[in-house]
Each structure stands twice: as C-alpha cells, then as structure tokens.
Amino acid sequence: MSARRAAPATGAARGSGVGLADVLPGQPGPAGPPPPGGSGDTAGLARGGVANLAGAALAAVAGVGVTWLVARGLGPVAAGSFFAATSAFVLVGGIARLGTTTALVYWPARLRAQGRPELIGPCLRSGLVPVAVLGLALGIAVWLTAEHFVPEYAAPLTMLALFLPVAALSEALLAATRGYRMMRPTVLLEKIMRPATQLLCVGSLAVLALSDIVSPPSTWALAWVLPYVPGAAIAGFLVWRRWHHEPTLTRRDRIAARIEGRTVGSAFWRYTAPRALANAAQTALQRVDVLMVAGLAGLAPAAAYAVAGRFVVLGQLANGSIAQVVQPRLAETLAVGDRAGALRLYQTATAWLVMISWPLHLIVATYADLYLGLFGATYTAAAPAVRVLAAAMLISTGCGMVDMVLSMAGRTTWNLMNVLLALVTMVAIDLVAIPRLGVLGAAIGLAAAVAVNNLLPLAQLAGSMRLHPFGSGTRTAMALAATSFGVVPWLVRLVVPSQPVGAGAALVLAAGVYFGGLRRFQDRLGLPALLAAARPGRRNTVKTASQG
C-alpha cells in the first residue's frame, strides 16, 4: 500500500492545458494558505538562523583549517595549483547547476504556500535531471581538455572533474530540501559533515607531509572532493522520501497533470533560465579572479591571493546561512503579496548579518599582516589586498542578501544583468591591474565588482518594490560594530603598536564594548528571538510570543 495520499481535486483536473498564470513569477497569484508562522515569522527565522550559523561557524573553522594545511603542507607553487584547480572546479560546478539552487527553493515554497503540492514533483524533475546530465557532460569535457588548456594545474583538475556531476547534484538536492523548509540537511551535510571530512582527509595528508611523504596536488584534490559523495547520496534520499509522501492524483488528474507537468517545466525554466547564467556569473565573481592571478601572475601569487581572501569566505558562510533560512520565507510572503512581511524579513536578516560579519571584516582589515602571518611569512605581502577586500565585504554585508531578495521577487532578469555587469567590471580591471599590481590588482577588481553587484540591485529593490535593508536594527548593528571593532582597535594600535600583544588587547576591549552594546540594544536587534531559539526548550514559547 502506497504511503502517498490521494489529492483533492485541483486546477489540474479542471480542464486540459491548464496554465500556471496563478503561480508565475512576478504575479501575485491567488490568496493561498498564509506562510507558516505569519508574515513576520521571526521566531522561525531565528531558529533556522541559529542552527545555520552554528553550522557555518564549524564550516568556517574547517575551511580555514584546510587552507592553512594546504598553504603549509604544499608550499606556494603547489598550493597555488591546488587553489586554482578547486576554483575551476567550483566555477564549472556553478555552470552545471544551471541556477536551480534558487529555483528549487523558490518553486516548492511557492507551490506549498499556494496549496499546489502536487506540482512539486514535476518541478523537481524539471530541475534535477538537466543538472545531472550537464554535470556529467562538463565533467567529461574538463577531464579531456584540462591538460591542453591549463597544464599548470591539470593534474588536480582532472581528478576533480570526475566528481563534477556529484557536486552539482549535491547542491541542487540540498536546495530542494530547503524548498521543503528542511534546514537540518543543509546544516548537517553541507556545513558540518562535508567540511569536517575534508579537514580530516586533507589533515591526514599534512601529517604524512611531516614525515617527508609529500603527496602531489592531485591527491590533495581527491581528499578535498571525496566528501561530496555521501552528502549527495543522503540529500537525494531525503528529497525522494519527502516527495514520495506528497499527495497523489486521481486518474483524471494524472491525465491533466502530464499536460500541466510540461507547463510546470516551462514555468520553472522561464524563471530559472536567467538565473542559470546569473548563477554561473556569480560563481565566476567568487572564483575567476584566482584563475586570472594564476594565469597572469603565476601560481605562487594565486596561492597568496587565495589565502588573502580566505576570510571573505567566512563572511559569505554567515551570509549564506541566513539567506538559506530567509529564502523560502521570502518566496512565501511575496507569493501572497505580503510586502510588509518581506521588508521585515529582509531588514531583520541584514541586521543579524551585519552583527555577525562586520566585526570579522573590521578586525582583519586592522591586523591584516598578523592574519596572513598565520599561513606563513611568504603571504604577508598580500596585506594591502586584504584591506581592500575587507572594505568590499563591509559594503556587501551592509546591503544584505540583496540579489537573493531580487530573485525571490521574480526579478531574475534584473539579477542577471547586475551580475554580468559586475563580472565584466572585475575582468576588465583584472586584465589591467593584475600584471601591474599583482594580488592587489585582483583585490581592486573584486572590490569594484562587489560594489556594482550590491549597490545596483539595492537601488532596483528600493525603486520598484520599496524594499531596503536599512531598518533601525541594521543601522544600530553597523554603528555598534564600526565603533567596537573599527575605532577601538585603531586607538589601541596607536598606544600599543606591538603584535600580537596589541591585537589581543584590542580584541578584548572591542569585544567588551560590543557585547555591552548588544545587551543595551538587544530588542532593536531582534536578539531575544535569536537567544530563545538557541534554547530548544523555549521554541513553543518563542513562537507564541512572535505571533501575539
């Protein structure tokens, strides 16, 4: 006996050739069931945010650990080969995903909010099958051509190419779980299991290197990529199990559903097609600069640039963690036309992002030379690049997850234009600046692209939908972080210039001022919801309070 239930009659049974005008992006659609927990749903956002941030913290530690082990264990040139290969792998993987990591959250969340769960299955098939096919094709292409196009790091790249379809499917399947509002798989698989396993595998090679058993970069690449396999398998099982329990259709519904299934696919790719190119361009913004440094300046500078930008990934983990929780809620609130609820979600999430990320970026900018020294004395020359990147990240996190909000509002074409303009800006600056300034030139190019990719969509959201991130909580978080981790360390460095003693004293004083400010402005920052969400026994109380 099947565990799946028969669905009540829906639009699929009310005639042949039924369209999806009621759920197309950019249209308000019929008033379906309201998003769970109300439009604000701050408690639910806090619960998911706390879990994701805890996972992001662990992933950040593991990611820094892997970078440190590679930088120390392989040396600048071989480490540059590893970092260039992994950057190319992530870039091609972003192309293989075809932008579905947004659509596989957007459509299940939207269809559930509008009472159309029977259409989720066709959406999943429309997204996952092309990802698997393209991932396989690109993996084969990279494996066959790497030696000809990038001989400097062909060996590790051909090893990684074997796992391209697995990595692309892993990301897409995890996005589908978030579309079902399952946040734990992303936290456990993507932020805990995979980074921890990568750290363990790479660490074992570093231990062997201490015994003068030095493995080639291709072996390090294999150790880094293997953890994608179990993550993809588990995520696939979770999506299949959830879909298997969705309502089934009657015989009459099944006839119409086949027609509507094709319509779902058309609507899915109408939304996703601009996002596919935008997603590839967005991934290129994060990775192609490493490849350009490797090609224009050499593998050793590429390693220095990868190390210099490691802290950027830490900030992006916080951004991604909060965005993954906000995505389905924003899709649901915008699907039922609740702009006020979307504004509250956007501003609350941005305040939390600034509160978490700005202290890191500010303190790294102040003590860039000390930060780089952790990876080895050969990398400290990249300190000016670190400061430029830190300034760019303050702009990025201050705007919040602006591109995601634009996508959840159905403006994927706008998002595509913004990302392409940012990518062109970065590549143009890199071609001129890297040969002259090396690592610093690449940092300037990325900073300019970050400014374009955040300020332009920010203006578009404010003008078209009256959405912006600068609520009272965001402004308070910015002022508090800038004072605590910007002004205080600068003053301490004037008095105690020696390091690391001065840096330690600055961190202690800055943390004291910061946590005092957080306590003073906790209500404005939405901290009670975050703190209560961290206590499992308080979940019901928080939910009731948030709805009252």
What's the pLDDT tens digit per position in 369-385?
Answer: 899 988 988 899 999 99
Provide the pLDDT for residue 502: 83
Phi/psi at 400 (nearest 5 deg)? 75, -170
Q: Per-residue confidence at 56, pLDDT binned at 50, 70, 90?
A: confident
Residues whose CB is less than 8 angstroms from the CB of residue 414 and which lie 6 or more positions away in sequence, other chains included: 406, 457, 460
Q: Per-residue confidence at 21, pLDDT binned at 50, 70, 90?
A: very low
Place of tokens 């900073």: 447
Provide the pLDDT for residue 279: 78
Provide the pLDDT for residue 542: 35
* Range list of β-strands (E), 279-393: none
Q: Per-residue confidence at 362, pLDDT binned at 50, 70, 90?
A: very high
**Span 159-210, pLDDT tens digits:** 999 999 999 999 999 999 988 878 788 888 988 999 999 999 999 999 888 7
The whole-angstrom separation of Cα 55 and Cα 60 is 9
N- to C-terminal Cα distance for the chain? 42
Report the range of poorest mean pLDDT among 35-44, 66-75, 319-328: 35-44
Provide the pLDDT for residue 285: 84
Provide the pLDDT for residue 294: 94
Provide the pLDDT for residue 501: 82
Please state, in angstroms and as integers, the Cα–Cα distance from residue 116 to each residue in 103, 125, 145, 455, following that order: 16, 16, 45, 36
Predicted confidence (pLDDT) at residue 250 exceeds the cutoff of 80: no
Q: Per-residue confidence at 494, pLDDT binned at 50, 70, 90?
A: confident
Provide the pLDDT for residue 545: 33
Provide the pLDDT for residue 421: 94
Crossing angle of helices 42-74 and 310-335, in 10° steps, is: 160
Highest mean pLDDT among 138-142, 239-243, 326-330, 340-344 belongs to 138-142
3-state secondary structure of 248: strand
Provide the pLDDT for residue 13: 34
Q: 94 or 537: which carries more pLDDT confidence? A: 94
Contact between 355 and 414 under an 8 Å Cβ cutoff? The reply is no
Predicted confidence (pLDDT) at residue 22 exceeds the cutoff of 60: no
Tell me which residue of 302, 489, 479 sits closest to 394, measured CA to CA: 479
Q: What is the mean pLDDT of the chain?
A: 81
Provide the pLDDT for residue 46: 54
Provide the pLDDT for residue 295: 92
Report the range of poorest mean pLDDT among 51-60, 97-106, 122-131, 215-224: 51-60
Predicted confidence (pLDDT) at residue 268 exceeds the cutoff of 60: yes
Q: Per-residue confidence at 426, pLDDT binned at 50, 70, 90?
A: very high
% of the chain surpassing 90 pLDDT:
42
Predicted confidence (pLDDT) at residue 135 exceeds the cutoff of 70: yes
3-state secondary structure of 6: strand
CB-neighbour burial class of residue 57 (10 A; exposed 0-12, middle 13-18, buried 19+): middle
Contact between 450 and 396 under an 8 Å Cβ cutoff? The reply is yes
Can you tell me the mean pLDDT for 29-52?
Answer: 48
Provide the pLDDT for residue 5: 38
Token duo for residue 115: 């009472």
pTM, full prediction: 0.76
**Span 297-356, pLDDT tens digits:** 999 999 999 999 888 877 776 676 677 677 777 777 877 778 888 888 888 889 988 998
Token duo for residue 543: 């939910």
Predicted confidence (pLDDT) at residue 444 exceeds the cutoff of 70: yes
The whole-angstrom separation of Cα 43 and Cα 61 is 27
Can you tell me the mean pLDDT for 453-462?
Answer: 92
Can you tell me the mean pLDDT for 438-458?
Answer: 94
Can you tell me the mean pLDDT for 511-527?
Answer: 89
Radius of gyration of the chain (CA): 24
Contact between 260 and 14 under an 8 Å Cβ cutoff? The reply is no
Please state, in angstroms and as integers, the Cα–Cα distance from residue 148 to each residue in 24, 96, 155, 428, following that order: 44, 21, 11, 25
Contact between 399 and 455 under an 8 Å Cβ cutoff? The reply is yes
Provide the pLDDT for residue 45: 56
Check residue 466 and report its DSSP letter: -
Please state, in angstroms and as integers, the Cα–Cα distance from residue 403 to each residue in 327, 328, 389, following that order: 11, 15, 19
